[in-house]
Structure 1
Amino acid sequence: MLQSILEQKRALSVYAADHNLPATVTANQWTLMERTAEVLAPFEELTRDVSKETATAADVIPAITALRRVLSREQTTDQGVRTMKSTLLEAVETCFAEVEKVPVYSIATLVDPRYKDRYFTKSDNLSLAKESLIQEMMKIEESRAANKEPEAAEPVSKAPRQEARSSLGSALDEILEECQSGAQSVSKTSADVQMQIYLSEQTIPRKNNPLDFWKTHATQFPSLAAIVTKSLCAPCTSVDSERLFSVMSNILDEKRNQFSPEKLEMLIFLKKTKKNKTKNIHFILKP
């Protein structure tokens, strides 16, 4: 709303001057609106990021950590909005105080090659997340040992990080640069070895798909790859699932209501997964 008003600043000012309006927006108020929109911009960016189809539970902890940094950073343009920034930061701290302790988010963050262990703000929470991850890996290894599944290994390929332009993206990159992995402790189990080697490697660019990384490194980190199939498939919001209702309403309506449940499900699947969505519809609708 504020951005829309600011875009029409010149038009509104000219209209107010031509029509002698009794109340107009002062220069100080325009400045205050600009600063308010600047403070709220990271929230909009975060909301859009976590609402994407590709967003997973791994995006929650890094996004909150970056948001905290943006709000806690003092700038020369904070005059007039300093109290609002502190109030927003306090609200974020209150709402997400325990997010790093939730295994759904912490484990997903660790196994995401874009984030790994770089975005945990407290060492205790990071240690707890690593313990939970190792426990999950040991369960998988015990199950594989019972089934006598072989494990192979291959070298890790490194990729440079991408620089972000937005304020929230810049904060994410800053945290990566500051939180490089330190000296690793002596490992005792296969799960420890896999986790320490994986975490010691450089993160991949945030624009990359983490699942592509695991397609090529699943044999090197088999236990971690097994956890990825459970952790990185969990969305961080219900936005995308709610979009399915809109997709269904566009396919099934009053004038087109004779689809069987199976055909309707196939069409929705194509709509959500196929880039060329109309290409394969005739295969589904064949008699």
Structure 2
Amino acid sequence: MIERYLEQQPAVMAALMSPNIKREKDLDTLSSDDITLAEHFIKVLGPLKTITTIPCESSMPTLSMVRPLLQNLSQAMAPNVEDVKPVSQMKAAILNRLAKRYTDVEIKRVLLQASFVDPRFKALPFLSQQEKLEVQESLCDLAEAMNDSSLEYCIVKSEPYARSDPPLPDVPVQVPTAVKEEVVNPPKKTALSSLFGDVFVVSHVPATLTKKEMIHNELKDYTGEECADVNTNPLKWWHVHDLKYPFLSKVAKYLLCIPATSVPSERVFSTAGDIVTVQRATLAPDQVDKLIFLKRNVTI
């Protein structure tokens, strides 16, 4: 609103000062000092406008953006010696309101966890090293506690040669007789085998790592990678790296599905209002569901 006023202020003043306008008294308008102060206010409120717009997007409205955006806003509202008194008062009021947000320990923990599993913000530069370790440890506990019903599929799919491993206990494996004979028969002696023997043979070592150790290894590899570009879609990133990080990917899906705002659901309500009108009040509920789904998901 202030930007629009300053943009149109010369035209407004020209129209008000026109001799064709009847004025009973002097014009009550902004002075030059007021306009200068309004320009300062625009600089202060600019980050607020941007940070309010970003979580309202429909493509990536995940919870992981909340904590980095809050940190960015706190830095933008930091006091400056060059600020005039009204600007300093405005910044102090904004920081005071921000300090009362997300004070619950559980909410703060979830916000940090969501930011860490977002490949764009996993560095968490606004935290100390000890705080980063605490976030990683909490994620490790969360990954360990989650149901791993689909984990076996991920591991088998990511290790195509696991078929040669010994069968798991209590799982009967029926092997045809012909296959047994083929496996038992020794391979034909060749010149290379007589020359090198077993020098280059690598024996298979069964995995003895515990689930927690595997999760820690994933965390180590994940933190060792470079942060993704800020324009990267974190959901697509985890779709690509799902098999590389089977434990962390489940935690990421669990956390990143939380929307940052209620704007997407409000848009669905608005879409429903456009579909179910007075002229279409007899639509069946299942038809309404299908129409809303198509409207929100089909791109032309």
TM-score strictly above 0.5: yes
Paired AA for residue 236 in structure 2: D
* Contact 2:63–2:115 (CA under 8 A) maintained in structure 1: yes
2:46 aligned partner = 41
Query: For 1:178-257, what aligned pairs fall within 5 Å after superposition?
Result: 189-257=213-281
TM alignment of 1:110-189, pairs within 5 A: 110-123=116-129, 125-140=131-146, 149-150=155-156, 152=158, 189=213
Root-mean-square deviation (Å):
2.7
Q: Measure the CA separation in 2 of the matches of 1:17 and 1:75.
A: 38
- Work out which of the residue numbers 68, 84, 88 in structure 1 matches 2:90: 84
Q: Could you list the per-position Cα deviations for residues 85-119 of structure 1 after superposition, in whole angstroms to 9, with x for gaps in the alignment?
A: 12212221232445785343222111111111325
Letter in 1 for 2:266: E
* Aligned residue in 2 for 1:10: 10
- Per the alignment, do residues 116 and 26 of structure 1 end up closer, same or farther by CA in structure 2, a change over 3 Å counting? same
CA deviation profile, 1:217-248 (whole Å, cap 9, x unmatched): 11111111111221111101111111111100
Instruction: Provide the rounded CA distance (Å) in 1 between the counterparts of 2:288 and 2:4.
Output: 39
Range moving further from structure 2, 75-84 or 267-276: 75-84
Deviation at 1:268, TM superposition (A): 0.6
CA contact (8 A) 2:155 2:246 kept: no
Tell me how far 1:24 sits from its aligned partner.
2.3
CA distance in 2: counterparts of 1:205 and 1:194, whole angstroms: 21
Distance 1:30 1:127 in 2: 49
The residue that corresponds to 2:283 in the other structure is 259
**2:57 paired with 1:52:** yes
Once residues 234 and 154 of structure 2 are traced to their aligned partners in structure 1, the CA distance between those partners, rounded to angstroms, is 28
Range 234-243 or range 91-100, more displaced: 91-100
- Determine which structure has greater relative contact order: mean sequence separation of CA pairs < 8 Å that are 6+ residues apart, divided by chain length: 2
CA distance in structure 2 between the partners assigned to 1:147 and 1:6 by the alignment: 61
Instruction: Please name the residue that 1:66 is paired with.
Output: 72
Q: Distance in 1 between matches of 2:289 and 2:131?
A: 41
Instruction: Give the residue type in structure 2 aligned to 1:9.
Output: Q
Aligned length: 242
The answer to whether the 8 Å contact 1:114/1:206 transfers is: yes
What is the CA-CA distance between 1:23 and the residue it aligns to? 2.0
* Alpha carbons 1:59, 1:109 under 8 Å: kept: yes
Q: State, as a whole percentage, how many aligned pairs show the same letter.
A: 26
CA offset digits 1:50-102 (Å, max 9, x no partner) = 11112111111010011011111627455641221122122212324457853
Measured after TM superposition, the shift of residue 128 of structure 1 is 3.1
In structure 2, C-alpha distance between the alignment counterparts of 1:151 and 1:75, rounded to whole Å? 59
How far is the alpha carbon of 1:200 from its aligned partner?
Answer: 2.2
Unaligned runs of 5+ in 2: 160-211
Q: Which moved more, 1:138-147 or 1:205-214?
A: 138-147
Q: What letter is aligned with 2:127? A: T
- Cα 1:205–1:78 change in 2 (3 A) is farther
Structure 2: how far apart are the matches of 1:148 and 1:9? Answer: 62
Q: 1:22: which partner in 2? A: 27
SS in 2 for 1:231: helix
